[in-house]
Structure 1
Amino acid sequence: MSGGLGQVIGEIMAFTDAFRGVTIANMMRNEAWHFLRLGNFLERADSAVRLWTTQADPEFSLVRDGPDSPHAGFHRVALLEAASALMPLRRLHGEPNRQGVTEMLLRRPDFPRSASFCLGEAQSNLAALQVDMCEPVMRELGKALAGVSHLEPEEGAAGMFAFGAARQADISAVEAAVDERFFVAQMPLRRAA
């Protein structure tokens, strides 16, 4: 095997992207398609929140050296690049500071990789699956969407980390409500003999 692990990982990523593209482009727009999209958008929202939360990780220079250090700036640029958000932020004349990162990764309803956009799309897919607005899964999703769109993280690493953890918990609650709504048969855990 020439190229090693990096080549294998690259091939897996390319195949996954191709599979997702072909599936999304060619699948009938029925329940299965909406359910697939629901899962994709919940996963993306969770990823966006986790990426945003790395700003509060004490292992990163942002926390160690302070929010205005050059290392913190490089870290924020890397976060935005990881989400393909740096150039869209610059087109909006935004800066890669804490507010810019929060805006792009969490709040922008018109940026496809923001948590707000992804949760809004998840809501649309649930509606297409004929889930009523008063059902628990829609309420949990509304709470998660409000959290990423409107709540403000506190200053400092501890406040940011708590905010990120709370938003992740909100998204996990949505996922649990989806499980409960769509997967009726709850299988009891078996004990190993």
Structure 2
Amino acid sequence: MLGRTANGMFWMFRYLERAENTARLLDAGLRMALTRDLETAEEEWRSVIATLGQKPLYEATHDSYEGSSVWNFVLRDKSNPGNVRQMFAAMRNNARTARTNISSQVWEAVNENWMKLDTLLARPVTQGQVGGVVTRLRRTGTQVHGALDGTMLRDEGYHFARAGTFIERAESTARILDMKYYLLLPSLSYVGSSLDSGQWDQVLRSVAGASAYTWLNAGRIDARGIVEFLVLDDRFPRSLAFCRSAQREHLAALSRMHGVEGHSNALLREADRDIAGITVEQIFERGLHQFLIDFTARNAAIAQAIGEDYRFLA
């Protein structure tokens, strides 16, 4: 497979995952903002922008964190080069680059949803429309991933697509947990205490984990349990442990196909040693923020190494 085609598969699914994760974060923020007073609602929207890493860019053009300003900035604002509309355009462009290596069903799912979303986001999104836009974004992720799993050969393209998915997913989960934990629980003395369950439910909804966590924990909401679930529970497909395991699986498959291991495989083994066998108590002792910073740095290094190993820019 040509490097630029592999790059197209990898980034096509990174952009898809990024857009879907952004939609979930917006949905969780909207749920919380609608149940709070104006001042608290603005704090919710401020946390959404901070979690996305777009605070300086947003504040350069906006004086307040009013809801419609935030979701339009995130979804379509031209002052934000990382808006969701641009993510979908980049996803479609990468799909076109890899067109001969994806099934017609994957292409149709990408292209049809891109056209619908491009139309939806051509004009400012009102409060009455934002829920529908978020639903469409989530549905797009489901359809494209379903088409990939149901129609694609388990060849190089498939494994590059899945590697991109789990690189991006791990980044998103770590960022959301780090930012939300910092905002909601600034002191370790609060671990295990009774906190605003609505806020922690928002964290879980941001990663599509509310139902699974509630089922596993009989509805008990606590900071320690949520951290353990999102970091270490390898049954949950958005936990850091699950994402790391999936990265290992797909990079191993690629190395078998190429007959050689690359630097990305070595970095992944090194990263595995940092998370294997660790307990949630040890994470708190080390410092959750530092643990997540180290995780995201390793995740970024693995992503960079994949591109170098398989000559994405060649």
TM-score (norm 1): 0.76
- Distance change >3 Å, CA 160–CA 129, structure 1 → 2: same
Deviation at 1:185, TM superposition (A): 4.7
2:171, 2:235 → 1: CA distance?
17
Give the partner amino acid of 1:144.
Answer: A
2:298, 2:180 → 1: CA distance?
19
2:209, 2:260 → 1: CA distance?
31
- CA distances 1:127-159 after superposition (whole Å, capped 9, x unpaired): 111257964211211233343444432359xx3
- 1:103 corresponds, among 223, 228, 237, to 228
Matches within 5 A, 1:147-158: 147-151=274-278, 152-154=282-284
Unaligned runs of 5+ in 2: 1-122
- Distance change >3 Å, CA 90–CA 8, structure 1 → 2: closer
Instruction: Give the corresponding residue for 1:177.
Output: 305
1:3, 1:74 → 2: CA distance?
26
- 1:142 corresponds, among 266, 269, 272, to 269
- CA distances 1:14-50 after superposition (whole Å, capped 9, x unpaired): 3343223212211111110111011111111112211
Instruction: Give the corresponding residue for 1:124.
Output: 249
**2:294 is the alignment partner of 1:166:** yes
Instruction: Give the corresponding residue for 1:78.
Output: 202
Q: Which moved more, 1:16-25 or 1:160-169?
A: 16-25
TM-score (norm 2): 0.50
Q: Is the 8 A contact 2:159 2:254 kept in 1?
A: yes
Give the partner amino acid of 1:97.
Answer: D
**2:170 is the alignment partner of 1:45:** yes
Give the partner amino acid of 1:126.
Answer: L
Q: Is the 8 A contact 1:106 1:148 kept in 2?
A: no
Give the partner amino acid of 2:263.
Answer: P
- CA distances 1:79-122 after superposition (whole Å, capped 9, x unpaired): 12332333333433374323211221111122212111111111
Q: Is the 8 A contact 2:255 2:261 kept in 1?
A: no
Instruction: Give the corresponding residue for 2:186.
Output: 63
- Distance change >3 Å, CA 107–CA 149, structure 1 → 2: farther
- Distance change >3 Å, CA 96–CA 76, structure 1 → 2: same
RMSD of aligned residue pairs (Cα, Å): 3.0
